[in-house]
Amino acid sequence: MAVLSQNSGSVEVEPPSAFALRYVVPGVVASLLITLGSLGVGWLPLDSSINSWPLVEALRGSTSGTVVSKVSVLIGVVLLLQSWLALGYGVMHSSLRGTRRLWITFAAWGAPLVLAVPLFSRDVYSYFAQGLLLQEGKDPYTSGVVALPGWFGTGADPLWGESPAPYGPLFLVLERGVASFSAGDPLLGAYVFRLIALIGVGMMAWGVIRLAEMHGISRSKAMWLVVLNPLVYMHFIVGIHNDALMVGFITVAFVAALERRPVLAVVLIALAGAVKPIGLLALPFIGLIWAGQRAGFGRRVVKWMYSVLIVVAVFAALSLISRTGMGWLDALATPGKVRTWLSPPTALGMITGGIGEWLGLATADTMVAIFRAIGQVVALGLLAWLALKPEGRSATRAAGLAFMITVFLGPVVQPWYVLWGLPLLVAAGLRRNELRLVLLGTAVFTLHALATSSSTQDTFLQLSEGIGLLLVAGIIAVVLMTSPRERRLLLGAPQDHGLLPDNPVAAGIAASRIITGPITSSVPPGQTRLARDE
C-alpha cells in the first residue's frame, strides 16, 4: 500500500477497492435512487410514449408508486449530499491528492443521472417550446409559449405561458436546432438539451481545475468543491439548466485570458452572455486581465472598450443568425416575477410588507419593490468598486465576488444561481470562513431545492418554503450530530486554513495573479489578500 508524506507524518493511500466502496458506491446508489424516483415524480410531457412503460405506469399510476418515488428521490439526494461530504473529508484532510479518482467518481455518480427524467425544474421544456416558436417564425422575445398550439402538452411550465424568453441569441439558435432535431418530441428534446448541459459541465470542470492550478490552489480540492458538488448534479445534469453552458464558457474564458489569449477570452464571454445575458458580468474582469496587473486606469479603459466592441460584433452576428434582433434586452426582467425567501431583499420586503399591511401602512408589493431597488443600487455600487478598484485581489476572485453579489442582492435567488460565481471563487481560493459558508450553503441549497423547487411543490413533498427550511435545518443537524468527519468539515477546526495555497511555491503563484496597479498596492509583496485577511 502506497504511503504519502503529510506534515512530517504519513497517511495511507486507500487501494482502489476501498476507495470505491467508501466513496464511489454510495454516490452511485444515490444517483440510481434519484433516477428511479424521477420516473415517478419527474416531469414528463402529457403525450410522451414512456408514460405507458410498465415501470413508469406503476410509479405514476398508484399512491404506493408515488410514495416509493418520493422516498427514493428524498433518500437519493440526502445520500448524494452525504457522499459528497464524506469525499470532501478525504480530499481536505486525508490522502486524496490527484484528480484521476475524482474524475472516475464524477463520471460514476453522474452516469445514472444522465438517464433521469427532468426533475427539480421543467425549464427545459420551455426551452423546447421556444424552439418550436422559432420554427414557426415567431419571436420568443415578444411571444410567450402560449402562442404555440398545444403548448401545454410540451411540458412547459405555465409560468412561461405569457413570459418572453430571457436568453441570449446563441441559446435561441440552439433551441431552434434542438426542436428541429427532435421532430416535435419534447422528451427527446430534453435529453438533447441535457447533452448540451453536459458539454457545459465538462468545460466548467476543465476550467476550474486549470484555474485552480493557475492560482496555486489544490486541483483536487477545487474539483471536489465545484465539479462533484450536489448542486451541479441536481441542477445542471438532472434539472438541465442552460446556466451550465454559460458557466462553462465563463470558466474557460478566464483560462484563456490568463494564458494571454484575450480576444478568445472576450469571445467566450460574449458566447456566455449569448446564452444568458448575466454572463456579460464577467467582461470587465477579463478586461482587467487583458490590461495587465500593473496597468493604470487609462489602459484598463482601452481594453474595456476593445472588449465591448468584440462583444457587440459577436452579438450582432448571432442576432442575425437567430433572426430575433436585440429583444433579449426587454426580456431580462422575466425571472424577477418570482418571489423567493432565498433573496435577502425580497425576503425583507415580504417581512416588512406583511407588517405594513397589518398596520395598514404599506402593501407587500410596495415594500418588495423598495427593498429590491435598494438591493440593486447597493449591488451596482459594489460591482463598480470591484471593477474600478481591483488592487489587492485577482481578477478571477473579483469576478466570482461580482456574481455572488449580483445573486444575493438580486430580486430572485434560485439554488443553481450560486454556481455562477462558485467556480471562480473556489479557483482563486477561499478563506476559512468562506469555505465553511460554501459548504453549509451547498448543504442548505441542496436540501432546500429538494423540498421546495418548482418540480416538487405540486408533485413531491408539497411543502411550503418555511416548512421546507425547517426540514433542511433538521437534516443538517442530524448529519452534524451523527458524523464527526462531516461535522468537522462543515464547522471547521482551529487548525483548518480554508482553501489556500499550501506551500511557498503555490503562494508565489497566487501572489503573481494579484492586481497591483502602476503603483505597488498596500498588500505586501508575495502576500495575497486572502492570506492577509487570515
In a 3-state reduction of DSSP, which class is residue 5?
A: strand
B/e letters for 236-267, b = 16+ CB within 10 Å, e = fewer, are bbbbbbbbbbbbbbbbbbbbbbbeeebebbbb
Q: Enter the pTM of the model.
A: 0.89
DSSP H helices, 215-331, are 219-226, 230-231, 243-258, 262-275, 283-291, 297-322
Yes or no: say if 120 and 453 are a contact pair by the CB < 8 Å rule.
Answer: yes
Dihedral sign for Cα 49, 50, 55, 60, please.
negative
* E strand spans, 117-217: none
- Nearest CA to 247 out of 288, 212, 201 is that of 201
What is the enclosing helix (H) or strand (E) of 436?
helix 432-452
The average confidence (pLDDT) of the chain is 84
Q: How confident is the model at residue 460 (pLDDT cuts 50, 70, 90)?
A: very low
Q: What pLDDT does residue 521 have?
A: 46
Lowest mean pLDDT among 79-83, 110-114, 157-161, 484-488: 484-488
In a 3-state reduction of DSSP, which class is residue 4?
A: strand
Q: How confident is the model at residue 246 (pLDDT cuts 50, 70, 90)?
A: very high
Q: What pLDDT does residue 463 have?
A: 47
Per-residue pLDDT averaged across 143-153, rounded? 78
Q: What pLDDT does residue 234 have?
A: 94
As to burial, measured by CB atoms within 10 angstroms (0-12 exposed, 13-18 middle, 19+ buried), residue 339 is middle
Q: What pLDDT does residue 483 have?
A: 63
Lowest mean pLDDT among 115-119, 250-254, 482-486, 530-534: 530-534
* E strand spans, 399-526: none
Q: What pLDDT does residue 264 have?
A: 97
- Which is more confidently placed, 88 or 158? 88
Q: pLDDT tens-digit profile of 357-389?
A: 787 777 877 888 888 899 899 999 999 999 999
Name every residue whose Cβ is closer than 8 Å to that of residue 73 and which is 6 or more positions away in sequence: 33, 34, 37, 38, 41, 119, 450, 460
Residue 155 backbone zone (phi > 0: left; psi -120 to 50: alpha; other: beta): left
Q: pLDDT tens-digit profile of 467-505?
A: 555 665 666 666 655 666 666 676 666 666 788 888 899
- Nearest CA to 179 out of 164, 189, 193, 169 is that of 189
Q: What pLDDT does residue 424 have?
A: 97
Q: Is the pLDDT of residue 90 over 90?
A: no
Q: Which three cell numbers stand for residue 110?
A: 453522474
Lowest mean pLDDT among 332-341, 376-385, 438-447, 452-461: 452-461
Residue 6 backbone zone (phi > 0: left; psi -120 to 50: alpha; other: beta): beta
Per-residue pLDDT averaged across 403-415, rounded? 90
Q: What pLDDT does residue 4 have?
A: 39
Q: Is the pLDDT of residue 314 over 60?
A: yes
Yes or no: say if 242 and 417 are a contact pair by the CB < 8 Å rule.
Answer: no
Yes or no: say if 128 and 48 are a contact pair by the CB < 8 Å rule.
Answer: no
Q: What pLDDT does residue 7 have?
A: 38
Name every residue whose Cβ is closer than 8 Å to that of residue 8 and which is 6 or more positions away in sequence: none
The Cα 249–Cα 271 span in angstroms is 7
